[in-house]
Homo-oligomer: A and B are copies of this chain.
């Protein structure tokens, strides 16, 4: 007996043009119907399904075998492609069917615990436990193939542009305070540990010091943090770095990549150069450093309006007096759409950003009303509405507080409302660069400035003189690529000058010991001639999710972890032997 029926065609690719051919398919039984003298089976592989017919004119042994088929049995089928009596327009192979002349059953299946259907909405943990069944869905295989294609396009592009793909190590040095590092105990030096990299950052900078000049890697990264819908303990970056360049070079190279990516993966002609927007503009117009520009609802600064400046309404007056902001957005068509109760819910939600309240104004054809009628007469409200060019059915939402609270609140609201109003078209892709980020962020928790990106980020040249005096005013040579309100990637020009690096460390309040233990080897490397360099890293999982219009990165990863960082298929993490711990010089804490 043959052990394999060698495939001639994939199940999803048979067409009317194949009628008359003898073919051999391999795949899984997706469906089986028994019509007495006829058995119909749908045979599935990753390309789709074909209908196979067994009639009672075939040898009884074969017919009986066909009769024994059940869902998810794995089979090989030989037969002739014939025209289907009544075509099925819903599937690509709907014009044809195979009249079976031979059948091999490779393996049988118990009743599968989940349906193999693209739109089956079973619990995610169950899908992940039976991932090998979940992956049989055409959508999932298409997603994996699409992800593979994105990687291929990235590697092709950077290879063609003179980049060298270099693998950096996964077993690296642990850093003090690296509490979000996964660590790996060493057996050779019990009591010592490796860390898994949160990114290849330090090694790719060393490659630049080593003369690699143009580096690319699609790199696995690890971060032990509490999980959200779009976070995984292990994730993948498309990571690049270049020497002897400035930000225009990095942006140009990456726009070339994005153009190719959109053309080849999506069939979309991306117009480049992409818009660039400073961080300041992004915040003041969109309340976000990752603005979604597919719709309006832009923020307006109301602090300059006389009716606001001179108000006795304490919330506004106090905010302005203490250096805060009064800003608002106008939801076109939102007045009739949102009830007071719904607006109260929004107010509730923005408390998580620190907002203590929200003011609303509604316009209609013949009236204007607000939650602050006591403080603002209709004329004053109309002046505010005029600032937004408000129409006849609009909802204005105003927040007054510290700038960060105002931006976070309004930035969240404009996108959440646009989403609710169905204005976020996943097939429209708005990309832009956000540039000139603040160099530092003041950490209330640590009582010092921390690096907004990382301590190797180069300040804007014109800001270097005020590094020590006015760190809060310094901007960075950093840039994010933003796609539909999501940060698809980010990077910066790095410091290559040791004196400037030393000044940065000082502003960050890092003492020699901390510098040595965290970055000692990179600082050491910089003693021997570092070239000007910079780079960028894309979050691959998120990028693929955005392009596919998926709502979770779990649908673009073959074997993702669940929200508790568990692998539902294998049961990881799990216990280990006491012997092994012993060998590693460790014991479980009682």
Choose, from A101-109, A331-339, A384-392, the stretch at the interface. Answer: A101-109
Which of chain B's residues have a CB closer than 8 A to the CB of A557?
A: 167
Asked if A183 and B186 sit within 8 Å, CB to CB, the answer is no
Q: Which of A49-106 contact B (CB under 8 A)?
A: 72-74, 76, 106
Task: A122 to B587: give the CA distance in the assembly, Å.
Answer: 41
Q: Is A321 engaged at the interface, CB distance under 8 Å to the other chain?
A: no
Asked if A186 and B131 sit within 8 Å, CB to CB, the answer is no
Asked if B210 and A529 sit within 8 Å, CB to CB, the answer is no
Task: A135 to B262: give the CA distance in the assembly, Å.
Answer: 35
Which of B133, B565, B579 is in CB contact (< 8 Å) with A179? B579
Which of chain B's residues have a CB closer than 8 A to the CB of A148?
A: 159, 164-166
Main secondary structure of the interface of A (DSSP, over half): loop
Asked if A570 and B172 sit within 8 Å, CB to CB, the answer is yes
Q: Is A189 engaged at the interface, CB distance under 8 Å to the other chain?
A: yes
Q: Is A36 engaged at the interface, CB distance under 8 Å to the other chain?
A: no
Tell me the count of chain A residues lying within 8 A, CB to CB, of chain B: 129
Task: A325 to B46: give the CA distance in the assembly, Å.
Answer: 53
A167 to B: closest C-beta gap in Å = 6
A380 to B: closest C-beta gap in Å = 51
Task: A529 to B108: give the CA distance in the assembly, Å.
Answer: 5
Asked if A168 and B559 sit within 8 Å, CB to CB, the answer is yes
Asked if B585 and A588 sit within 8 Å, CB to CB, the answer is yes
Asked if A152 and B141 sit within 8 Å, CB to CB, the answer is no
Asked if B574 and A173 sit within 8 Å, CB to CB, the answer is yes
Q: Is A515 engaged at the interface, CB distance under 8 Å to the other chain?
A: no
Choose, from A201-209, A414-422, A423-431, A505-513, the stretch at the interface. Answer: A201-209
Asked if A210 and B166 sit within 8 Å, CB to CB, the answer is no
Task: A584 to B576: give the CA distance in the assembly, Å.
Answer: 14
Choose, from A240-248, A273-281, A359-367, the stretch at the interface. Answer: A240-248
Asked if B155 and A569 sit within 8 Å, CB to CB, the answer is no
Q: Is A224 engaged at the interface, CB distance under 8 Å to the other chain?
A: yes
Which of chain B's residues have a CB closer than 8 A to the CB of A112?
A: 528
A208 to B: closest C-beta gap in Å = 9
Which of chain B's residues have a CB closer than 8 A to the CB of A532?
A: 3-4, 106
Choose, from A192-200, A263-271, A350-358, the stretch at the interface. Answer: A192-200
Task: A202 to B174: give the CA distance in the assembly, Å.
Answer: 29
Given the known inter-chain contacts A28-B529, A106-B532, A587-B587, please indicate yes or no for A170 contacting B564, CB distance below 8 A: no
Task: A585 to B589: give the CA distance in the assembly, Å.
Answer: 5
A482 to B: closest C-beta gap in Å = 25
Asked if A497 and B107 sit within 8 Å, CB to CB, the answer is yes
A567 to B: closest C-beta gap in Å = 6
Chain A, 131-159, contact with B by CB distance < 8 Å: what is the 0/1 string? Answer: 11111100011001101100110010001
Q: Is A213 engaged at the interface, CB distance under 8 Å to the other chain?
A: yes
Asked if A558 and B166 sit within 8 Å, CB to CB, the answer is yes
Which of B183, B558, B575 is in CB contact (< 8 Å) with A192? B575
Which of chain B's residues have a CB closer than 8 A to the CB of A582?
A: 589
Q: Which of A549-590 contact B (CB under 8 A)?
A: 557-559, 561, 564-565, 567, 569-577, 579-580, 582-589
A569 to B: closest C-beta gap in Å = 5
- Chain B CB within 10 Å, residue with most, of A151, A164, A520: A164
Given the known inter-chain contacts A182-B184, A586-B587, please indicate yes or no for A211 contacting B165, CB distance below 8 A: no
Given the known inter-chain contacts A172-B570, A573-B193, please indicate yes or no for A243 contacting B212, CB distance below 8 A: no
Which of chain B's residues have a CB closer than 8 A to the CB of A210?
A: 131-136, 140-141
Which of chain B's residues have a CB closer than 8 A to the CB of A206?
A: 131-132, 559, 569
Which of B193, B244, B496 is in CB contact (< 8 Å) with A574? B193
Which of chain B's residues have a CB closer than 8 A to the CB of A492?
A: none
Which of chain B's residues have a CB closer than 8 A to the CB of A130?
A: 528
Q: Is A26 engaged at the interface, CB distance under 8 Å to the other chain?
A: yes
A533 to B: closest C-beta gap in Å = 10
Closest 10 A/B residue pairs (Cβ): A135-B210, A109-B529, A173-B572, A192-B573, A173-B570, A186-B573, A148-B165, A26-B244, A72-B529, A132-B209
Query: Can you list 16 A-B pairs, Cβ within 8 angstroms, ordered by A?
Result: A28-B529, A46-B211, A46-B213, A72-B528, A110-B528, A135-B212, A144-B212, A148-B164, A168-B558, A169-B234, A177-B577, A181-B580, A191-B588, A203-B559, A586-B588, A586-B589
